[in-house]
Structure 1
Amino acid sequence: MSGAVLILGARSDMARACAHRFGRAGHPLVLAARNAATLEADATDLRLRYNVPVTCAEFDATDIATHAAFLDALPELPAIALCAVGAMGDQALSQQDPQAAATVFRTSFEGPALILGALAERFEKRGSGTIIGISSVAGERGRASNYVYGAAKAGFTAFLSGLRNRLARTPVQVITVLPGFIATRMTEGMDLPARLTAQPAEVAEAIFRAHQKRRNVIYIRPVWRLIMAIIRALPEPLFKRTRL
């Protein structure tokens, strides 16, 4: 049987798809999220489908003081830790309400970074492990439409990059996932371009392959690498006139 996979933020559509992909490959699973009891239906389905052990754990990424106890209480230190925690929030609300903006920062950057940092320490001490952080192309350049969320994801992407650089001479692997548009409950109702929009199962497959191939940074659809390269390259006077 393959090593256990810890999925943080296990209630999201991307996280669920990842649980199915790793479960199908024979990995035991630990599903972690707030109100963990509500994950039991998913856990039962995964056990029946893939005949792998699945446990549920209570976890709140924004409650930093509980992180160490959460890790100590796990049945075992996982082989793979995947963080799908994040909140896009509402840009207009975040502009007006500091608490709303703080929630986005804590949920999309501070909490995920600190829990993965704690796992990295344990993985390095053990001498093995894979850390997978789901960030976003939104963090590659601040845009008027989502710069609070983008700033949080920029921080998370930089954190993962630094962690990977620090651990480069160890067996610990760090993967940064940069999805573009994903068809999830969070984006339901948005008018998303089909060519640029991936399905959760597509994200899960890309992540699974990235782990196998020991990739560093992945875009779910390659076209996003080109799109973001163009956006990053725009001179600031021109960029200020865009509506992105």
Structure 2
Amino acid sequence: MPKVLILGGTSDVGRALARRYAREGWSVALTARDPEAGAREAADLTVRSGRPADLHALDVLDERIEEAMRAALEPLPDTVLCVVGMLGDQARAESDPGHARQVLRANFEGPALALSIAAERFRVRGSGTIAAISSVAGERGRASNSFYGAAKAGLTAYLSGLRMRLSKDGIRVVTVKPGYIRTRMTSGFRLPPLLTATPDEVAAAVFLAAERRGSDIVYVKPIWRIIMLAIRCLPEWAFKRLSF
């Protein structure tokens, strides 16, 4: 039975992914920074799927992430999915370096360090798939989320480099750019329906790309590919005039 490890298993997208993979007959392991919340998710998944779900404690903000990640990789899964992230508060990050550090580490440094450990294990074995949630926010810096966008830009670049490095070893690396997602993290925002995906839609797109050999770069809502192409083509003087 194939096995998937989901980093960030208590998030809305993490839960949707766990249920999707379980329905497809996969064994599922979750990581959580909150052991109690993780235990509830693992128990719920066990009831739904009829198979026990493994749980590992892992916090990407912890300096000891390498030790926790190595433990979570035993036994070595077939696929590792990273859905860890933190939107943060832009205004707070501008005046609070500690909060800015959390946003940068949660969205880039922590995931990159964790995935680098999985990548090396996969390289030695000669097989495996890595997929991570990045963001369209990383394609061009915006005043309203410059720290979050910069971190996601770093993650996108890291995944691109990892994909190039591991392609000759038979390892797939998938970058997922959902756009807006209707989750607890965005519950206070007014989101445009046409541009907003549900966690189940994200899970379906990730499973298709990662396990059915889809695209290496996935826009869950295809319209985002067109929107971001237009935004990337804007000259800087014009882009500075925008207020989003």
Which deviates more from structure 2 when the two are superposed, residues 41-50 or residues 179-188?
A: 41-50
Task: Normalising by structure 2, report the TM-score.
Answer: 0.96
1:218 aligns with 2:199: no
Partner of 1:109: 108
The one-letter code sitting in structure 2 at the alignment partner of 1:224 is W
Partner of 2:41: 42
- Cα deviation per residue 1:202-239 (whole Å; 9 max; x = unaligned)? 00000010112322110000000001111111011100
Partner of 1:82: 81
Measure how far apart 1:44 and its partner are: 1.9
Which deviates more from structure 2 when the two are superposed, residues 47-56 or residues 185-194?
A: 47-56
Say how many residue pairs are matched.
243
Q: Go from structure 1 to structure 2 and tell me whether the alpha carbon gap of 1:69 and 1:189 turns closer, same or farther (over 3 Å shift).
A: closer
The one-letter code sitting in structure 2 at the alignment partner of 1:55 is D
Q: Is the 8 A contact 2:58 2:68 kept in 1?
A: no
- Segments of structure 2 that go 5 or more residues without pairing to the other structure are none
CA–CA separation in structure 1 for the residues paired with 2:243 and 2:65? 41
- Cα deviation per residue 1:82-110 (whole Å; 9 max; x = unaligned)? 11111110111111111111110011000
- The root-mean-square deviation of aligned C-alpha atoms, in Å, is 1.2
Local SS of the residue matching 2:64: helix
Measure how far apart 1:74 and its partner are: 4.3
Q: Go from structure 1 to structure 2 and tell me whether the alpha carbon gap of 1:66 and 1:141 turns closer, same or farther (over 3 Å shift).
A: closer
1:97 aligns with 2:70: no
The one-letter code sitting in structure 1 at the alignment partner of 2:41 is D
Q: Is the 8 A contact 2:82 2:133 kept in 1?
A: yes
CA–CA separation in structure 2 for the residues paired with 1:30 and 1:37? 15
Measure how far apart 1:10 and its partner are: 1.0
What are the equivalent positions in structure 2 for 1:162-177 lying under 5 Å apart?
Answer: 162-177=161-176
Measure how far apart 1:170 and its partner are: 1.3
1:238 aligns with 2:234: no
Partner of 2:178: 179
Partner of 1:151: 150
- Segments of structure 1 that go 5 or more residues without pairing to the other structure are none
Measure how far apart 1:240 and its partner are: 0.5
CA–CA separation in structure 2 for the residues paired with 1:231 and 1:73? 39
Q: Go from structure 1 to structure 2 and tell me whether the alpha carbon gap of 1:192 and 1:73 turns closer, same or farther (over 3 Å shift).
A: closer
Measure how far apart 1:69 and its partner are: 4.6
Partner of 1:136: 135
Partner of 2:198: 199
Q: Is the 8 A contact 1:37 1:56 kept in 2?
A: no
Q: Is the 8 A contact 2:57 2:68 kept in 1?
A: no
Which deviates more from structure 2 when the two are superposed, residues 28-37 or residues 8-17?
A: 28-37
CA–CA separation in structure 1 for the residues paired with 2:14 and 2:92? 26
CA–CA separation in structure 1 for the residues paired with 2:28 and 2:70? 15
CA–CA separation in structure 2 for the residues paired with 1:82 and 1:168? 17
